[in-house]
Structure 1
């Protein structure tokens, strides 16, 4: 397949549907001690033995800090409408209250280069790289960090204003709070139920505090927030309760306060002893109107109750899985988008802000034949089309990721990129999936002339 086949009469073929690629700062930039940047919690976490596969770190990553010009050219050559990136908080505010002009200038040249090539720019303010100096004061367990986030959002949006086309406050607060402060799998590596829920509330409070600041400083830009979601399916009818609870814990806990102004009762009742202190007015702040919701989808969860009444994820060995063991289940994306649309009366437009697969990629004679990823993208684009036909408003799709990069606790073992990166030489090679994406976008552009 040398291009993705978009269904006939599909909204995906329309010129207003946004196609893009996505990255995040710590995963690609490197240059961790350059340009005035100070350490983030991920720099610290990577130094702890056994926390990251192979002892990997983001010190160099894809060296985007130095190679950004060729990378933006590469993105432009794909023919995408938009580039989704994140800004590194410790590059902008290397010390509490100290603004770093070099950091702002670094991102300004990237934004300008994107605009010069006709691409819109989607910027995430927080993709998990909290400054270490804030973690030293408690990080997201400290309510003050929510206010520090709003100050950081103010610095960025006052500088860039509407030059940033679309702002995202947080990327995947589920991962930042629960993997970082509940289960200890990600930085900063804290373990505790109460800590996980406390961090999550402060993250969502930070989002809410930032929204009016962003609107004031960038009145013509769009503003929203991005959530990860792995929809749950009961193994048997007796496990429906397990699936409902899994959905509440996995994504409704984060989306409900934004779109409903409340946390889901399933969680607040079951986890009553671990609930954070929610001050009067917090939920009003968090539920500030948003222009869009981003949804990151990779796979689903099939769940059941075990003999102790605990919820367990049940592997589905009869179905196809990616190289890292994630089930390929495009129907889950359709189901998720429809479920969300039904759950929230005030659902704003949705972007699928991340979607992709890690496959077993090798570069042979300058070619990477990633056939499974091609099928993954094809079937998930079809799944989005089905959701649109079912009445869900979806305005765009971003492939994760532009290129292979630092995949957090998995280091460099997992390759999610459309573009293959040789980490020794930093050479970039378009995989067959990237060529198919480019060809599809070229064909769509011809149609819309």
Structure 2
């Protein structure tokens, strides 16, 4: 099939996060995280499981690096568990925790794999939640900077790519508005305070990382999707505007020097989520700190959102001109498969926000497959999902997008947060009873993509 080549030095990798794969949650001085507490709260996790064991990566990291090397990965994005490094949230450093990540980084570099370290992928030390309410309180931003300082001073001689936060929308809204993720509150006002303190901590940490790490590239990762009105009606267009502000612009705009979106401040005041004076947590100078220039932006993309206004009674029967894909075109998370949304977002970030360097830091699909009688794991749907999204990324590059790399989510099946072990995103199959790993067909196909630095376009040549 015809091949679409990617630019020279394009980075192909995969990604994981600490709580989802490490296990060993009470070993070597690690303290309790908000996810340890949340996962053991009855009714919070779909299958009632937790991350105590997960993929045992804490003990099997050497084998996992060997697996990455065999697949030809050029880079590996992982997160660092804050409770392993500062068990009290601040203050005393747990050297055993730092030693683990130091060994991991050395192992990656020896295998020719560049480490991309994410500092916060949701596992806040429970002690900070108990003491000050976690990210609701401004002091947690200062604690995060302390964490970033400790980690970067230890690893910065070898790790040059740093991501401060993974998906602040989830940290704020899934966790504090919807109550779906740890710590599990349902208070919109608290979620807005959290969003500000997370963004503030990012801006405060960037210069610390740069000071500690000569030649560092520092960024942040946002999860985004495109917001599409379900019909041409003004009501549906307004619903799409509001969703885009809630999900994307609330974070993008302050990061790129545009302050919080005025339309969203007005909406939140009107809805009673903010007082008349607005976001009172935002102090003088905060917006300048948040807008500290980054070296790149990470984009996590999985699907799109089609918005239907709730302000118009359904009995009015507005036409629905934008249809979501049928159930057969959804992943097992119930997310619509919509590759072109990735192209559209990458173009938007480039030309609307002027982002100078981009990575797709997560993209993947949850499908349940098991080894066949020959020990092979055929996962054609995931393979096709990745192919179509790689092609969309290449189309964005053709349009002038400065895309520097692509990290498939996830390296291996793991603990999928509130879904427990019920969803499998990995390109490597994991038997959670034995911890056996088997690269799926998608992983073997991806190995070929990396080797060729090209993806076939899915069209067989004419005969």
- TM-score range, shorter-chain basis? over 0.9
Residue aligning to 2:196: 201
1:320-349 per-position Cα deviation (integer Å, ceiling 9, x unaligned): 11122211100111111112222213x120
Q: 2 CA distance for matches of 1:368 and 1:220?
A: 41
Matched, 1:334 2:343: yes
1:12-52 per-position Cα deviation (integer Å, ceiling 9, x unaligned): 2x331000000000000000000110000000001111100
Deviation, structure 1 residue 308: 5.0
TM-score, normalised relative to structure 1: 0.94
| 1:320 to 1:141, Cα distance in 2 relative to 1, 3 A | same
1:215-248 per-position Cα deviation (integer Å, ceiling 9, x unaligned): 1001312101000002111111112222122111
Gaps of 5+ in 2: 315-319, 455-463
Q: Residue 230 of structure 1 contacts residue 301 of structure 1 at CA under 8 Å; is this kept in 2?
A: yes
| 1:385 to 1:405, Cα distance in 2 relative to 1, 3 A | same
Q: 1 CA distance for matches of 2:204 and 2:296?
A: 17
Q: 1 CA distance for matches of 2:222 and 2:293?
A: 16
Match of 2:123 among 129, 134, 141: 129
| 1:318 to 1:45, Cα distance in 2 relative to 1, 3 A | closer
Q: 2 CA distance for matches of 1:262 and 1:409?
A: 32
Q: Residue 167 of structure 1 contacts residue 223 of structure 1 at CA under 8 Å; is this kept in 2?
A: yes
Matched, 1:304 2:308: yes
Q: 2 CA distance for matches of 1:21 and 1:353?
A: 8
Matched, 1:183 2:178: yes
Residue aligning to 1:160: 155
Q: 2 CA distance for matches of 1:261 and 1:107?
A: 36
Residue aligning to 2:457: none
Q: 1 CA distance for matches of 2:127 and 2:394?
A: 45
1:363 aligns to what SS in structure 2? Answer: coil
Question: Between Structure 1 and Structure 2, how many residues are aligned?
Answer: 436
Q: 2 CA distance for matches of 1:427 and 1:58?
A: 17
Q: Residue 301 of structure 1 contacts residue 314 of structure 1 at CA under 8 Å; is this kept in 2?
A: no
TM-score, normalised relative to structure 2: 0.91
Match of 2:253 among 252, 256, 272: 256
Matched, 1:348 2:323: no
Deviation, structure 1 residue 306: 2.4
Residue aligning to 1:93: 86
Q: Residue 234 of structure 1 contacts residue 242 of structure 1 at CA under 8 Å; is this kept in 2?
A: yes
1:114 aligns to what SS in structure 2? Answer: helix
Q: Residue 162 of structure 1 contacts residue 221 of structure 1 at CA under 8 Å; is this kept in 2?
A: no
Matched, 1:216 2:211: yes
Match of 1:18 among 11, 24, 29: 11
Matched, 1:266 2:266: no
Q: Residue 257 of structure 2 contacts residue 288 of structure 2 at CA under 8 Å; is this kept in 1?
A: no
Match of 1:231 among 226, 231, 253: 226
Gaps of 5+ in 1: none
Instruction: Compute the RMSD of aligned alpha carbons.
Output: 1.8
Q: 1 CA distance for matches of 2:327 and 2:364?
A: 21
2:453 aligns to what SS in structure 1? Answer: helix
1:169-216 per-position Cα deviation (integer Å, ceiling 9, x unaligned): 000000111001111100000111101111000000110110111110
Q: 2 CA distance for matches of 1:6 and 1:301?
A: 32
Q: 2 CA distance for matches of 1:233 and 1:375?
A: 24
Q: 1 CA distance for matches of 2:347 and 2:164?
A: 24
